[in-house]
Amino acid sequence: MSDAISAAPQARVVTMEPAVQITDLTYRYRGEKTEALKGISLSLNRGEFLVVMGPSGAGKSTLAAAMNGLIPNFFKGKIAGEVRIFGQKTTETTVARNSETVGIVFQDFEAQLFSTNLELEVTFGMENFGVDRDEMHARMEEVINYVGIAHLKGRAPSTLSGGQKQKLAIASVLAMKPRVVVMDEPTTDLDPISKMGVFEITRRLCEHHDTTLMMIEHETEEALYADKIALMQDGRLIRLGPTREVLRDVDLMRSVGVAPLGIPSFFKRMGEGDLPITVDEGVARFNELSWKVSAPAYQKLTENEAAARAGLGEVLIRCDGLDHTYDTGLKALDAVTCEVRRGDVLAILGQNGSGKTTLAKHFNGLLMPTGGEVLVDGKPTRDQGIFKIGQKIGYVFQNPDHQIFSETVFDEVAFSSRLRKLPEDEIKARVAQALASVGLTGMEKEDPFSLTKSGRQRVAVASVLASKPDVLILDEPTTGLDYSEQRGMMDLVQRLNKAGSTIIFVTHHMWVVAEYARSVIVMKEGRVILQGTPREVFSHGDRLHDAFLRPPHFVDFSNRLGHTFLTPEEMAGCIVRGMEA
Partner 1 sequence: MSGDFYIDNNSFMHRLDARTKMALAFLTVVAILMFEHPVWLMPITCLSLLQLYIAGAFRNLRRIRFILIMMSLSSMILWNFFSNGVTPLWWKFEVESFLFAVNRTLLIVLVISSGMVLISTTRNEELVLGLIKIGLPYRVGFALSTALRLLPTIGSSIITISQAQRSRGLDLHVKNPLERLRRFLPLLVPVFISTIRNTNTFAMALESKGFGARDKRSYYLKMEMKRADYLVLGFALVFVAVSIVLRLKGIGQIPGLTRF
Give the interface with partner 1 as residue ranges (CB under 8 A): 65, 68, 70, 74, 94-97, 99-100, 103-104, 106, 108, 110-112, 114-117, 119-120, 123-133, 136-137, 140, 154, 156, 158, 172-173, 176, 327, 361, 364, 366, 386-387, 390-391, 394-395, 397, 399, 401-405, 415-416, 419-420, 449, 463-464, 467
Nearer to partner 1, 45 or 398 (CB): 398
Is residue 105 exposed (0-12), middle (13-18) or buried (19+ Cβ within 10 Å)? buried
Burial code of 315-334, b = ≥16 C-beta within 10 A, e = fewer?
A: ebbbbeebbbeeeeeeebbb
Q: Least distance in Å: CB of 484 to partner 1?
A: 24
Q: Are 19 and 46 in contact (CB under 8 A)?
A: yes
Q: Are 462 and 434 in contact (CB under 8 A)?
A: yes
Q: Least distance in Å: CB of 218 to partner 1?
A: 18
Q: Least distance in Å: CB of 169 to partner 1?
A: 8
Nearer to partner 1, 361 or 540 (CB): 361
Nearer to partner 1, 401 or 525 (CB): 401
Q: Least distance in Å: CB of 261 to partner 1?
A: 31
Spatial CA neighbour of 553 closest among 279, 171, 168: 279
CA–CA separation, 143 vs 151, rounded Å?
Answer: 12
Q: Least distance in Å: CB of 570 to partner 1?
A: 36
CA–CA separation, 343 vs 467, rounded Å?
Answer: 18
Q: Least distance in Å: CB of 86 to partner 1?
A: 17
CA–CA separation, 467 vs 392, rounded Å?
Answer: 8
Nearer to partner 1, 117 or 484 (CB): 117
Nearer to partner 1, 136 or 253 (CB): 136
CA–CA separation, 448 vs 458, rounded Å?
Answer: 10
- The 10 Å Cβ neighbour count of residue 82 is 15
Query: 3-state DSSP call for residue 331?
Result: strand
Q: Least distance in Å: CB of 328 to partner 1?
A: 8
CA–CA separation, 161 vs 508, rounded Å?
Answer: 15
Nearer to partner 1, 82 or 119 (CB): 119
Nearer to partner 1, 137 or 318 (CB): 137
Q: Are 520 and 534 in contact (CB under 8 A)?
A: yes
Torsion of CA 524, 528, 531, 535, to 10 degrees: 0
**In 187-247, which ranges are E strands?**
212-216, 228-233, 236-242
Q: Least distance in Å: CB of 514 to partner 1?
A: 29
Q: Least distance in Å: CB of 185 to partner 1?
A: 12
Q: Least distance in Å: CB of 489 to partner 1?
A: 18
Question: Which alpha helices (H) appear in 68-117, and where do they start and end?
Answer: 70-73, 95-98
Q: Least distance in Å: CB of 416 to partner 1?
A: 5
Cis peptide before 72 (omega within 30 of 0): yes
> Which residues make Cβ contacts (< 8 Å) with residue 378, sequence separation at least 6?
none
CA–CA separation, 232 vs 56, rounded Å?
Answer: 10
Q: Least distance in Å: CB of 569 to partner 1?
A: 37
CA–CA separation, 264 vs 266, rounded Å?
Answer: 5
CA–CA separation, 211 vs 202, rounded Å?
Answer: 9
Nearer to partner 1, 274 or 450 (CB): 450
For residue 291, give the amino acid letter: W
CA–CA separation, 64 vs 115, rounded Å?
Answer: 24
Spatial CA neighbour of 567 closest among 546, 550, 552: 552
Nearer to partner 1, 119 or 227 (CB): 119
Backbone angles phi, psi at 150, to 5 degrees: -60, -30
Nearer to partner 1, 3 or 132 (CB): 132
Nearer to partner 1, 143 or 514 (CB): 143
Q: Least distance in Å: CB of 469 to partner 1?
A: 10
CA–CA separation, 412 vs 390, rounded Å?
Answer: 17
Q: Least distance in Å: CB of 443 to partner 1?
A: 19
Nearer to partner 1, 361 or 563 (CB): 361
Name the DSSP letter for residue 274: S
CA–CA separation, 514 vs 538, rounded Å?
Answer: 8
Nearer to partner 1, 122 or 544 (CB): 122
Structural element, H or E, at residue 504:
strand 502-506
Nearer to partner 1, 230 or 462 (CB): 462
CA–CA separation, 316 vs 346, rounded Å?
Answer: 12
